[in-house]
Structure 1
Amino acid sequence: MNIPVPPTAIRPSVLVDDSRTNENDITERLKNIVQANARLQHDLTKDLPPAYSGGFKHSWDALQVEVAQYINSEVRVPFAMQSGSPLGGFMQRIKGKQGRFRGNLSAKRVEYIGSSVISPDPNLKINEVGLPIQMGQILTYPERVSRHNIEKLRKCVSNGIYTYPGARYVRCNGDEFYLGGSNRKAYADKLRYGDIVERHLEDGDVLLFNRQPSLYRMSIMCHRAKVMPWRTLRFNESVCNPYNADFDGDEMNIHVPQTEEARAEAALLMGVEKNLCTPKNGEILVASTQDFLTSSFLITRKDTFYDRASFSLICSYMGDGFDSIDFPTPAVIKPIELWTGKQLFSVLVRPNANVRVCLNLTVKEKSYSKTDEDGRAIEAMCPNDGFVYFRNSELIAGQLGKGTLGNGNKGGFFSVLLRDYKAHAAAACMNRVAKLSARWIGNHGFSIGIGDVQPSDILCEEKEEIIKEGYKQCDEQIKLYNEGQLQLKPGSDAAQSLESEITCALNNIREQTGKLCMQKLHWRNSPLIMSQCGSKGSAINISQMVACVGQQSWLVSYGVFFPYNGRARGACGYSCENS
């Protein structure tokens, strides 16, 4: 049997003085294995009588113990074979608080790291992180002086530590000079090619952005720095999903790679654009969320129209005025030129003829209906505008929601862009959607109040009818149970069958009132909009807020109880107060 011997780099010898060294525990274990093996080999080669077979067994057992303790020094061994010195094995290096993972990798207080509370900024690109200027003045990057950057670095050295953009140290000919004094101008004049300046962080620097706990590879990704005022780390909300981050007080960390090799590896392997898809199943993970979905849903309604001034202004939202935009032909020409909200997304996908993106896509949104109001089967012309159809980058039909712009759909907007036109096209569209949505909803307004969850008189009347009918069914089932005529469910006794019937009837009440609620609410109802576009909530949440909460089952020591006419009626037929 062969045992792998690790290189000396992971079991180094420690020099105690000129004549003595301390060997690593792994080296000592290997030495013990070699000695035990030599003893066994010596015993086997000796010409001993058969009665001495016990000696062979002892040597063999000793070798087995040494090999086992080489892997795990905590294995149980006979008392006679226990050694006095506690030498660690490989498992002891890995596990526990002092092990490699917890002791050397996780949550380490390392150099060139910054940590702060996070907050959203839809104006940043998905691969950018907003860095507080105070953090940018403390964290540095060692940049080597060349003919391309010598003037920039001379200015940084002149500014020193407290003026941004500045520098903290200059290293030349093996010496290091601190730039906190008044002789910064002299150091700047002496700067030569090959010197290293520890400059402040600047826009475009490579950073590693991390949120704990780091559970998989997309918990730490590479972003580009954007030095900004104020005190929080900011990033685009589209990148919340990979980090599982929200903005209720979460903190995140940045790490600054210190070599060109590390920067290149981080940008190429860990960049956000390189990790838009989850490695688990290939679904898109970096995608629009919440406010972006709500805005897109409202912008692409059938009855949304803009005149030339409004349309031009909204088009400028998505590109900060730097991109040239080819104006589409207006949807309405007389009596005034009007453009639709759907045309905004056509411009978003392909702002001008130089953008070679011809997107073709069909998606069935949450509101998609297979039949029209008369019950006739339909495919594309959905009465709820739930059939999204892009042809040659032009949005022909459909209101955009989570099915199109959200994460998790392999046939969605960003997934198709990533598949057909690579990561740059998908990331560019994400940036445009974020800027357009955030600025549009900021001007348009979107709020929720008590009035949004207050039912109308008609809804209250119809709801009461549904609830009375459901209670009547429950009374009939309880009557059958008391008379012993209740039809039993397979594998259940009478009490369990009654429980099942009542649960079914009360759940049916909630479903019917929910459907009624969704039909009667106005289309401008905020919870309804959020539910339809998939940004937050569901039909059940809305029906519980507006119509009725529905049955709440819970177990007590003597039976299962259900809310019934304001009181809890048990399976046995009597009632007790909710508590």
Structure 2
Amino acid sequence: MAMVEDRMQFTKEPYIEDVGPRKIKSVNFSMFSGDEMRNAAHCQVWSANLYNANQKPIENGLLDSRLGPANMSSTCATCHGDYTSCPGHFGYLNLVLPVYNVGYFPSIINILKSICKSCARILLPEKDRRDFLKKMRNPKMEVLQKNGLAKQVIKKCKLTCCRCGYVNGTVKKASSMLGIIHDRSKIVEGDGTWKECSAAISHVKESMASFHVVHVLNPIRVLTLFKKMLDEDCELLYLSDRPEKLIITDIPVPPMAVRPSVLVNGGQSNENDVTSKLKTIIQVNATVRQDLQCTGPKLLCLKDWDLLQTEVAQYINSDIRGNPQNQPPSRPLQGFVQRIQGKQGRFRGNLSGKRVEFTGRTVISPDPNLKITEVAIPILMAQILTYPERVSNHNIEKLRQCVRNGPEKYPGANYIGDPSGTMINLRFASKKRAADELKYGHIVDRHLEDGDIVLFNRQPSLHRMSIMSHRARIMPWRTLRFNESVCNPYNADFDGDEMNMHVPQTEEARTEALTLMGVQNNLCTPKNGEILVASTQDFLTSSFLITRKDTFYDRAAFSLMCSYMGDGMEPIDLPTPALIKPIELWTGKQLFSVLVRPYAHMKVYLNLTTKEKNYCKPEETMCQNDGYVYFRNSELICGQLGKVTLGNGNKDGLFSILLRDYNAHAAASCMNRLAKLSARWIGNHGFSIGIDDVQPGHTLNTEKDEKIYSVYKACDDIIEEYNQNKLNLLPGCDSAKTLEARVLKALNDLRDATAKVCMKELHWRNSPLIMSQCGSKGSPMNISQMIACVGQQNVNGQRAPNGFIDRSLPHFPKKSKIPAARGFVANSFYSGLTATEFFFHTMGGREGLVDTAVWLILLSFIPFPYVQFLYHFSSFTFFFFL
């Protein structure tokens, strides 16, 4: 019985499953108060001297060893670390008089506008205060809505305090850079005392109007007001913390790692800008302390206080103007804001874009024989870029051979590292001996080899697919090569573009790159789910020509082309021929059926219907242009394949359906097969464009001239009606706008009509026509401009404006409104433009360049979000840490 009771007494508690990791509910950014700065600091700094006579840092100076080692020869007195291992420690500098935080200067003024300058309560009636507070405490309200509500609170604030009756004036910035004025002159003017004072000094020449009742709100007065504010009033103004933290009473002195001191010959030291500015602040602070202790003139103390305010402001932001009597230094010292913002700042210069090792950059070239997941790396680059591979039982023989080859011979190695951290440079060591002494656990920096994971990037990096991971393929020559199907996400072409390559140095980085950034896993854009890695240009042209209805191949030719798309490792089953007698013939459409499903055991059954650009009739009766594409169980029944089916930007295309119904590997394999087939087919078949392709025939010239003559005559009639005030006005337009609208419509219709005639007259083998129909390049408008008529040139959506007095060019009479005088180009690029037509065409083409330049200028002014946040100086710690 006792044993049972004993067991009952010591029974284990039931297992309670852990709820899991804690979640962050919210993140709140606020400023450091003086107490918090002092608690975080390791020492107080008050001496402006740096070194003593023995070249040792002075205690309680700016280079105090408790803040970290000042240079390579010293050690940290706090953590006893050296120059490389010590992260640095903070100190603090106590100010004799408080100063404004220049980053929060607008916020300080807004708070002062909203509170009473006597009792520091919000200048709202009690009912309005409660209503606003209730809205502000609504948990469903977003941050932007709360910011808007805080602005409404500031606007609603009255001048008279409803609690103490004090009449407040307007709060505004002083004419000097860092000062706040409380102007009550307009309120005092309406008082009876004002009239008595005015009568008493009426004999004085100076008028009463020039006399203002103005109070300067110094930081001490503002700090007192902010300390008296209630928490509810702070909540009304949507302040994340107490407002007195906006006034600086203590300055944290950043660690030595942020502002290293460089010793030069002769015992001198070259100090950082931050150290120099802190030294100036300490000297001015000492002057202010001396002014307060002595019974000197108050004006001198105020001047020194203003100087202290300016120096602290320039310590944060060096763009703040100083006192005019102070001579500017020969080189402006860099403040913390300048360290962060701009192209050379921490974000754009050191975080978003940084100089790193294991990086290559050279010109890019196309190679359709590569997979879309591969990138060809020159041997010369592969011998410089290395990967640290740890020696194990599986790779020791391979790495020994790499070590024997050394840095000069590929595949080789450049360095060997042992577990103790010693590095051996194989350029100067005995390679054979190093290979024999190689052991498990050593790390060999070997050359890049086939299959290594590399990151590939083209600038500007505008979206996440501008940097993706590929597998390396080491090849001769001097350029980086990749499959043209991957040009779209990089926005790359091969007219001299250069691209960057980065080599991840750990197994974790390689795995993450392959999983998160692999091309095969980023075929779709996250913007709208459309396929982005897809066939382009020559691939589309050859696919369009292969799938024509009159394209047939015998067994030898069809088998040869089936071998084009494979790599020798994948079996290919020939389908049943389309024609059996008198000879077995296969169609080009069957070639694409094999491309989608090479062998019978592949479980890829593609079903899709889509309409190409040349589609013209309902699908019930098919399409005479063969523009209706129909795949049934991976067999192409009908349709000529073009950009709609094989290109990017279509959610119902071939690769999109493969990706949706199967997986990324099926879509990527189909792209690889199509790239190889298309490149080899078009190389054997030939496809080029010459001057004969854009030479208009007699029929085309005749029809073009007739249409231009008829439209010119119609425009002359419209102009005549305008001159006689008989023009029927369009809704919302006067006669001049109506004239422009009708003439512009007639001329645009003329260009469209000539484009249709041009497309109808061209032979089906015409190269520009083929490229336009399949979507690889160009449009009917481009073909029309080359062969028939360039058309109306627009500037800002209108006809060419008057550059001279009442006329566009001196070649035309004044107030001429005929098409030729306002930017219509009747010639084609084949026939050649006249001088005036060339000038108008240049005006129209220049507009796109100007728009691009304007957008680039606007983008350069958009602040980086973190820069915008840190500009307001939310915490000294962020600045010093960065």
Provide the TM-score with structure 1 as the length reference.
Answer: 0.86
SS in 2 for 1:554: coil
CA-to-partner distance for each residue in 1:29-82, whole Å, 9 max, x for gaps?
8999xx99xxxxxxxxxxxxx9x9987327676522349999xx9xxxx94873
Query: 2:742 matched to 1:501?
Result: yes
Q: Structure 1 unaligned runs (5+)?
A: 37-49, 371-376
Aligned residue identity for 1:105:
L
SS in 1 for 2:247: helix
How far is 1:172 from its partner?
1.8
Query: 2:309 matched to 1:141?
Result: no
How far is 1:221 from its partner?
0.5
Query: Number of paired residues?
Result: 547
Partner of residue 57, structure 1 = 225
Partner of residue 531, structure 1 = 772
Alignment partner of 2:309 out of 74, 79, 82: 82
SS in 1 for 2:792: coil
Indicate the larger mover: 106-115 or 158-167. Answer: 106-115
| Distance in 2 separating the partners of 1:67 and 1:436 | 74
Alignment RMSD: 3.5
Partner of residue 400, structure 1 = 641
How far is 1:286 from its partner?
0.5
| Distance in 2 separating the partners of 1:189 and 1:24 | 41
Q: 5 Å matches for 1:153-164?
A: 153-164=399-410
Q: 5 Å matches for 1:319-358?
A: 319-358=566-605
Aligned residue identity for 2:592:
F
Alignment partner of 1:459 out of 683, 691, 700: 700
Q: Structure 2 unaligned runs (5+)?
A: 1-27, 43-65, 100-163, 165-219, 229-242, 253-273, 275-304, 318-334, 794-798, 822-834, 840-882
Alignment partner of 2:664 out of 418, 423, 438: 423
| Distance in 1 separating the partners of 2:550 and 2:820 | 53
| Distance in 2 separating the partners of 1:2 and 1:182 | 55
CA-to-partner distance for each residue in 1:261-318, whole Å, 9 max, x for gaps?
1101100011001111111111111101101110100010001100000001111111
CA contact (8 A) 1:127 1:272 kept: yes
CA-to-partner distance for each residue in 1:145-166, whole Å, 9 max, x for gaps?
1111111111101111100000
| Distance in 2 separating the partners of 1:15 and 1:461 | 88
Partner of residue 77, structure 2 = 19
Aligned residue identity for 1:392:
N
CA contact (8 A) 2:403 2:412 kept: yes
Partner of residue 488, structure 2 = 241
SS in 2 for 1:15: coil
How far is 1:334 from its partner?
0.6
| Distance in 2 separating the partners of 1:107 and 1:54 | 42
Partner of residue 193, structure 1 = 440
CA contact (8 A) 2:452 2:472 kept: yes
| Distance in 1 separating the partners of 2:806 and 2:88 | 62
CA-to-partner distance for each residue in 1:349-381, whole Å, 9 max, x for gaps?
1000232100001111111113xxxxxx54461
Partner of residue 653, structure 2 = 412
CA contact (8 A) 1:168 1:179 kept: yes
CA contact (8 A) 1:118 1:233 kept: yes
CA contact (8 A) 1:117 1:250 kept: yes
CA contact (8 A) 1:380 1:387 kept: no
CA-to-partner distance for each residue in 1:108-131, whole Å, 9 max, x for gaps?
221100000111111111010110
Which protein has the larger Cα radius of gyration, Structure 1 or Structure 2? 2
| Distance in 1 separating the partners of 2:76 and 2:339 | 29
Aligned residue identity for 2:487:
C
Q: 5 Å matches for 1:469-548?
A: 469-548=710-789
Alignment partner of 2:354 out of 108, 114, 125: 108
How far is 1:485 from its partner?
1.4
| Distance in 2 separating the partners of 1:164 and 1:575 | 67
Aligned residue identity for 2:69:
L
Distance change >3 Å, CA 124–CA 530, structure 1 → 2 = same
CA-to-partner distance for each residue in 1:169-219, whole Å, 9 max, x for gaps?
111242221112462111111111111111000000000001111122111
CA contact (8 A) 1:210 1:219 kept: yes
Distance change >3 Å, CA 28–CA 419, structure 1 → 2 = farther
How far is 1:19 from its partner?
3.2
How far is 1:384 from its partner?
0.7
| Distance in 2 separating the partners of 1:282 and 1:115 | 31
SS in 2 for 1:499: helix
| Distance in 2 separating the partners of 1:307 and 1:208 | 44
CA contact (8 A) 1:122 1:237 kept: yes
CA contact (8 A) 1:495 1:571 kept: no
| Distance in 2 separating the partners of 1:270 and 1:525 | 41
| Distance in 2 separating the partners of 1:471 and 1:513 | 14
Partner of residue 614, structure 2 = 367
| Distance in 2 separating the partners of 1:59 and 1:497 | 67
Partner of residue 47, structure 1 = none
Aligned residue identity for 1:434:
A
Partner of residue 262, structure 1 = 509
How far is 1:523 from its partner?
0.3
Query: 2:233 matched to 1:179?
Result: no
Provide the TM-score with structure 2 as the length reference.
Answer: 0.58
Partner of residue 462, structure 2 = 215
SS in 1 for 2:462: coil
Indicate the larger mover: 146-155 or 55-64. Answer: 55-64
Distance change >3 Å, CA 502–CA 209, structure 1 → 2 = same
CA contact (8 A) 2:572 2:598 kept: yes
Distance change >3 Å, CA 93–CA 68, structure 1 → 2 = farther
Distance change >3 Å, CA 569–CA 173, structure 1 → 2 = same
Aligned residue identity for 1:450:
I
| Distance in 1 separating the partners of 2:819 and 2:456 | 60
SS in 2 for 1:82: helix
Indicate the larger mover: 83-92 or 327-336. Answer: 83-92
Partner of residue 373, structure 1 = none
CA contact (8 A) 2:612 2:628 kept: yes
| Distance in 2 separating the partners of 1:308 and 1:67 | 90
CA contact (8 A) 1:93 1:99 kept: yes
Distance change >3 Å, CA 111–CA 411, structure 1 → 2 = same
CA-to-partner distance for each residue in 1:444-468, whole Å, 9 max, x for gaps?
0000011000011111122222222
| Distance in 2 separating the partners of 1:286 and 1:64 | 52
| Distance in 2 separating the partners of 1:407 and 1:327 | 29
Aligned residue identity for 1:57:
L
| Distance in 2 separating the partners of 1:30 and 1:480 | 83
Query: 2:683 matched to 1:442?
Result: yes
Aligned residue identity for 1:356:
K
SS in 1 for 2:363: strand
Distance change >3 Å, CA 343–CA 14, structure 1 → 2 = farther
| Distance in 1 separating the partners of 2:416 and 2:435 | 9
CA contact (8 A) 1:122 1:235 kept: yes
Alignment partner of 2:369 out of 117, 123, 130: 123
| Distance in 1 separating the partners of 2:656 and 2:814 | 51
Distance change >3 Å, CA 147–CA 280, structure 1 → 2 = same
Distance change >3 Å, CA 124–CA 82, structure 1 → 2 = same
